[in-house]
Amino acid sequence: MHVIFVEPCFPSYQGKFVRALREAGAFVTGISEVPIESMPHSVKETLHHVEHVPSVVHEGAMFDAVRRIQRKGWVDRLEATVEAHIMPVAKVREACKIPGTSVKTAFLCRDKPAMKQALREAGVPCAQSTGANSEQQVRAFAKQVGLPIIIKPPDGAGAAGTYKVSTPEQLDTAIQACGVTQGYSVACEEFIEGHEAFYDTITIGGQVVHEFISHYYPGVLEAMRTRWISPQIITTNRVDASSYDDVKELGAKVIQALNIGTSATHMEWFYGPKGLKFSEIGCRPPGVGAWDLYSAANDMDIYREWANAIVHRKPGTRASRQYSAGMIALRPERDGTITGYDGLDAIERKYGKWIIDGHFPPVGSPTRPVEGGYWANAWMRVKHTDYDQLHAILDEIGESVKVRAR
């Protein structure tokens, strides 16, 4: 099988997808913004051919690159795994008549108001929402559903550019900050109170062959706005518990409604006073290294399982559910320059056998803003056979390990 993989170099973990495709027996061509002479050797040696383009989101340049590749031989799949690449790649895929995620599916997995409208029509419980490109439309929606509401980019990922609006004054501020008065489009949503989590899958022909459930502590918006919090993401090994049946049924219904075929998916959901509510879905893997947690927790190489789905249309193994695994982001006490770490040695001595890995920028490194996300500064990843014990360990790490800065 000949697979074109879009942007094998950035982010740095993209090389894991290429490696997995090669191990699954695929002939892999890369399309990259990085010239071949500048590529890491570990990536370069896994690719049979590379096409360089100025931008992988420039549809014209991408179309020309794919056509050059097709003139040299048959292409079976054209794959991308980064959110910003999904739509332009889908358009080129369709124009070049290569099987895979359609433009319609990519659009519905990218545009939040259209996504929710399609899923409401399919009977999926969602927050009330609308698209808006004027101040008047935003204010009309806020009046209709009442505050609080969420205002965010229609195609954003995570909490970037997202505002929770609880008061008229915050509404005024958010309207100015989000650019809607300059004609930018935004998604407006009813605020759903409750616990925030996500359901990730690998699907083959629309059927789930691997599934994982992970939890945020606290929710993403709060985590990205509050310095003192050391936020956690934990993937559970209790996926087969009956308490998750509704989540899995919801996920399957969303996958079918959006006509997702053979792909990775990442679906956010809430559970609270209004019951289980769908939030959004991406036709791609999750970010922040979640797949590394799945691999560590389940005695499997999930990148290889994704490649098996693409190349062989069948899984190679089953998730063991041996461990729960989690990551915790450790924020510096202030913006500036990192001067050291307190409490890290004691944690490593106490929990060393459960620690997967970690990232601690060297002393003297500049800090990065809290809004930069879970990977912005220091972090640790840990696994344990018991979910609750893992949660307690991560809590202790958050309380004990201090990132000093000045």
pLDDT in tens, 305-337: 999 999 999 999 999 999 999 999 999 999 999
Residue 371 has pLDDT above 90, yes or no: no
CA distances from 34 to 9, 42, 76, 169, 328 (A): 7, 14, 24, 45, 31
CA-based angle 329:325:373, to the nearest 5? 25
Computed over every residue of the chain, the mean pLDDT equals: 95
Residue 47 has pLDDT above 80, yes or no: yes
Helix axes 112-121, 245-257, angle to 10 degrees: 100
Q: Strand (E) positions, 136-274?
A: 149-152, 163-165, 186-190, 195-204, 207-217, 232-235, 263-272
pLDDT for residue 155: 67
What is the model's pTM?
0.92
The domain over range 195-405 is classified in CATH as 3.30.470.20: yes
pLDDT for residue 404: 98
**128-190: CATH architecture:** 2-Layer Sandwich (3.30)
pLDDT for residue 159: 62
Residue 396 has pLDDT above 60, yes or no: yes
CA-based angle 248:99:89, to the nearest 5? 85
Residue 186 has pLDDT above 70, yes or no: yes
pLDDT for residue 183: 86
Provide mean pLDDT across the span 195-215.
98
Bridge-based pairing state of the strands 207-217 and 232-235: antiparallel
How many residues does the structure list for the chain? 406
Q: What percent of the chain has pLDDT over 90?
A: 92
**CA gap 310, 308 in Å, rounded:** 5
Residue 209 has pLDDT above 80, yes or no: yes
Provide mean pLDDT across the span 216-230.
92
CA distances from 128 to 36, 107, 120 (A): 47, 19, 9
Residue 286 has pLDDT above 60, yes or no: yes
pLDDT for residue 89: 98
Query: CATH topology for 2-100?
Result: Rossmann fold (3.40.50)
Max CA pair span of the chain: 60
Query: Domain limits of the chain?
Result: 2-100, 128-190, 195-405
Residue 158 has pLDDT above 60, yes or no: no
Provide mean pLDDT across the span 244-267.
98
pLDDT for residue 160: 66
Residue 161 has pLDDT above 70, yes or no: yes
Helices marked H in 258-301 — which ranges?
Answer: 290-298
